[in-house]
Amino acid sequence: MPQSLAKLHLHLVFSTKHRSPWLGDTVREDLHAYAAAVLRREGCPVVAINSVEDHIHLLLELSRTQAICNVVEALKIATSKWIKTRGLEYSEFARQAGYGVFAVSASHIATVCAYIARQREHHARHSFQDEYRGILERHRVGYDEQFVWD
């Protein structure tokens, strides 16, 4: 019987709208657990997840039957709805419209996991914008600065 096999790891990054600091300590762990559950339901298990106040990083394994855009849309919709249930102070919560997603080779999984785990330390020295520009440049993704941020 023929098989269709795939093992695709993706580093997904997206921020809150205007990089507002919505993702504080009071929701962070529960958000990570909820996001992981959503992705598991989509057939895309999470390998690593972490966030700081204004953005989230995930390393996930993409299901061979899913399109990236559909997985990201499902995740962003579900987590946005979820966070708005956390209290009145979250009623205006919004995510940025876009996202960045980058292929990760098997030989770099441990490095990306460590990078995701160190987000707090990293952002003590670097802004999200500088970090994201660096990721785009390392992956040779062309971009227009005026359309990257919302």
- The CATH number of residue 50's host domain is 3.30.70.1290
- Does 3 reside within a domain? no
Q: What is the pLDDT of residues 77-97, one digit of tens each?
A: 999 999 999 999 999 999 999
Residue 2 lies in a domain: no
Per-residue 3-state assignment (H helix, E strand, C coil) for 58-109: EEEEECCCCCHHHHHHHHHHHHHHHHHCCCHHHCCCCECCCCEEEEECHHHH
In a domain, 123, yes or no: yes
- Residue 51 belongs to domain spanning: 8-148
Please give the pLDDT value at position 1: 57
Low-confidence ranges of the chain (pLDDT < 50): none
Q: What does the pLDDT read at residue 51?
A: 97
How many domains are contained in the chain? Answer: 1
What value does the CA radius of gyration of the chain take, rounded to a whole number of Å? 15
Confidence (pLDDT) at 149:
83
